Amino acid sequence: MMKILTVPPGVVARHGSKAWPLGLAGAGLLILGSLLSWSYDPQVLGDLSISFNPGGLQIMAIALALFAVILLLARKGPLTFLGQWADTAKGLNALATWTLLFMAMVVVAIAVEAGGLINVQPGCWVSLLGAVALFVASRLVVSRKTRDLAEALLPGWAEILVIVVIMAALLFGTAYALNVADGWVLLLFLVFATAMAIGGTRAGLMSWLGHVSLRRRRELILASFAVAFCFPLTQGGSDANMSIAAQVLVFAAAAMGLNIVVGLAGLLDLGYIAFLGAGAYVGATLSTSGFATIGWKPPFIVVILVAACFSGMLGLIIGTPTLRVNGDYLAIVTLGFGEIFRLTMFNLDGNNGPDLTHGPNGIPAIPDLIFGNFNFGDTHYLLGIPLSRFSNYYFLLLILLAFVIMVFHRLNTSRIGRGWVAIREDEKAAEAMGVNVFGLKLLAFASGAFLAGMAGAIKAHVDVSVTPDQYVFLESAFLLAAIVLGGMGTIVGVLLGAVILKLLPEKLRFFADYRLMLFGLLLVLMMRFRPEGLVASRRRQLEFHEEDEELAVRVEGDIAEEVQG
């Protein structure tokens, strides 16, 4: 987008001085318009029809404008101290482009939903005009040289405050997005969130946050989990969103396990869902369900370990022969293994083999977990806020996810993780340096399978029933897509990818028919234009853009900082 919309340098030189006032005027218009009424029809996009009582979307527009004002004032005005750190021109560029998209989509949405452009009120046109002015102004500003953000230090309490504020914004943003029933509003909210995030990233906010998070790792992790734990409290006991959230967590935990295999060790596993399925089947057959086929009913803590070990064993069995052959073959063999697993579960119905899984019917009626007196099926109260069945599982899954992330992180930063990087980048060189290539690959494969088995055992109870058709190839592809979309080998990226891929299809029901098609297209486009994913670790980015010298220098800087910190 950036490349198409650049202005010739001559124009910038001649009109550059007008950018600042034009931008401020644009932002002002945007705010003014947002205070007025946007549409005649109060039914459309929440209520946007009352002047001086901005609705949700209008507040978003005002927030975008205020962000633009801050960036402008950082160029010239009271906030110039920010300007020496932040690349305001790039930030404005991205922010204004997305703001324009946001306003254009608002106009389209009102026209489509209320039946014609006639329903768009002057306020909306004023805002759109403001967005256009801001956009033009943003094309005329030029980047200045900025100082290295690693030197931008704030007092400790202020850095922690920034982390808390951002985390709170995340929490309330997610809660808001989940409670939006209207597809258009959700879509616009996503555009808004993207605008803020990209504007911030381009201005350097994200790289500053990166430096802060390196310094304040512990506080950041604590804050993230605090936010995740608070999430069910914002739902007021409603199960609708919590069931989605529980699914997202299962998916995220599985994706994080696969991330060890694909992201760290660079082994493409296309049958990973089978390990989740193996865990789920173990969890189901050892549960107290009346349809379970094995008589042994150990406590859940034993079941989850058995499930994990069983999956891990499968990983070893499938990994030992195939990890000796290379790359592409592994992808196909794992895909074949995934199919073998599904077909086997499908066939073990008593007619075509021993009756272990009830074939296509699967094992239904898996009871809720009970830990001591705590029944996961009941509604419990915390501070008077009801926490229903899915909220209980949500907490359990959150602990699991935390465990998976911890394993991932520990492995990644250990000697093993460095071995994996070496294997990924050049297997022969790694072997020559004395890295135990086969052992490390097998370890990645087995630990990924082990974690998936744990997740599967819990998933069986969350889903109540286990059937073979939950574990088709497409699910493996989705897991892989979450990793690719978010950024291979990163934690934040894969979590983001998992949330996007699981949440959007649930909420964007009006795309229901086309969502798989869009998913396929998305994979192709990602590989073409941003193969390193949304959140790329710099080192990873370098693997995809080897000729980028500047990036290489920055990666070295990062590694130096990591070592110091």
Answer whether 178's CB lies under 8 Å from 234's CB. no
* Other beta carbons within 10 Å of 79: 16
Q: What is the dihedral of CA 261, 265, 266, 267, to 10 degrees?
A: -50
Give least dist CB 197 to other proteins, A.
Answer: 24
- 522 counts as binding other proteins under rule CB under 8 A: yes
Answer whether 230's CB lies under 8 Å from 174's CB. no
b (16+ CB within 10 A) / e for 529-557: eeebbbbbbbbbbbbeeeeeeebeeebee
Phi first, then psi: give them for residue 363, nearest 5 degrees.
Answer: -110, 105
- 564 counts as binding other proteins under rule CB under 8 A: no
Distances (CA, A) of 410 to 259, 414, 425, 439, 474: 13, 6, 20, 18, 30
- 145 counts as binding other proteins under rule CB under 8 A: no
Stretch that binds other proteins, among 380-388, 390-398, 512-520, 552-560 (CB under 8 A): 512-520
Stretch that binds other proteins, among 6-14, 84-92, 227-235, 318-326 (CB under 8 A): 318-326
- 553 counts as binding other proteins under rule CB under 8 A: no
Instruction: Find the binder of other proteins among 324, 410, 415, 509 (CB under 8 A).
Output: 324
C-alpha span between 532 and 545 (Å, rounded) = 9
Amino acid in position 523: L
Give least dist CB 339 to other proteins, A.
Answer: 6
Instruction: Find the binder of other proteins among 101, 422, 516, 552 (CB under 8 A).
Output: 516
Give the side-chain half-sphere CA count within 13 A for 142.
14
Amino acid in position 538: R
- 336 counts as binding other proteins under rule CB under 8 A: yes
C-alpha span between 436 and 351 (Å, rounded) = 45
- 353 counts as binding other proteins under rule CB under 8 A: yes
- 79 counts as binding other proteins under rule CB under 8 A: no
Instruction: Find the binder of other proteins among 189, 337, 376, 445 (CB under 8 A).
Output: 337
Instruction: Find the binder of other proteins among 94, 292, 477, 498 (CB under 8 A).
Output: 477
C-alpha span between 285 and 94 (Å, rounded) = 53
Answer whether 191's CB lies under 8 Å from 101's CB. yes
Give least dist CB 521 to other proteins, A.
Answer: 5
- 335 counts as binding other proteins under rule CB under 8 A: yes
Instruction: Find the binder of other proteins among 219, 506, 543, 561 (CB under 8 A).
Output: 543
Instruction: Find the binder of other proteins among 125, 395, 473, 511 (CB under 8 A).
Output: 473
Q: Bridge partners of 355?
A: 349
Instruction: Find the binder of other proteins among 181, 432, 524, 563 (CB under 8 A).
Output: 524
Residue 99: name the closest of 16, 23, 12 by CA.
23
Give 156-196 as a DSSP string. Answer: HHHHHHHHHHHHHHHHHHHHHHHH---HHHHHHHHHHHHHH
Amino acid in position 63: A
Instruction: Find the binder of other proteins among 146, 201, 293, 344 (CB under 8 A).
Output: 344
Tokens for 336, please give them. 């074949």
- 413 counts as binding other proteins under rule CB under 8 A: no
Stretch that binds other proteins, among 145-153, 340-348, 412-420, 492-500 (CB under 8 A): 340-348
Instruction: Find the binder of other proteins among 176, 346, 395, 438 (CB under 8 A).
Output: 346
Give least dist CB 308 to other proteins, A.
Answer: 24
# residues contacting other proteins (CB under 8 A): 54
**Where on the chain is the footprint of other proteins (CB under 8 A)?**
262, 266, 268, 270, 318, 321-322, 324-329, 331-333, 335-337, 339-340, 343-344, 346-347, 351-354, 427-428, 473-474, 477, 480-481, 484, 488, 513-514, 516-517, 519-524, 526-528, 531, 543-544
